[in-house]
Amino acid sequence: MIFIIDGILENMALEGKRYFSPHYIISAAETQGVELSLKEVTEYLLSLVPNKIKVHYEMECPNGDSDFEIVSPHDFIEETKICHICSVEYITNLDRIWVYFDFTPEYIDFLKKKRITPNSRRDLLLI
């Protein structure tokens, strides 16, 4: 499972993908014939924070809009809000938090350097 996720992440980072959810990883694995659970993917992605990826949390309003970012679900406070997108009033709820990820610049740089192997450097010099 870990190797599948790592491969998907490497490809995404090199392709410039940003701001992805665990669901995206699950869908990408399914195209390879691999079934992954939301829990195992989320837990693995969280284990890569802060070295390879950053984690973000956003509160979703009842209409499904991403209303505001929160620092951590552990600091969550239930309160009444008005969505800045659709203007609906709602009470924040831990079950309505979106989790998404982005790559650290250091990880992207590492992958770019990793792609240039000693043989590819030599080949570039011959061109």
Distances (CA, A) of 40 to 32, 46, 67, 103, 107: 17, 10, 27, 19, 22
The gap between the terminal CA atoms of the chain, to the nearest Å, is: 39
Q: H-helix or E-strand containing 8?
A: helix 2-14
For residue 19, the 8-state DSSP code is S
The whole-number pLDDT of residue 75 equals 85
The whole-number pLDDT of residue 116 equals 72
For residue 61, the 8-state DSSP code is P
Q: What is the pLDDT of residues 52-109, one digit of tens each?
A: 999 999 999 999 999 999 999 998 899 999 999 999 999 999 999 999 999 999 999 9
Q: What is the pLDDT of residues 11-50, one digit of tens each?
A: 999 999 999 999 999 999 999 999 999 999 999 999 999 9
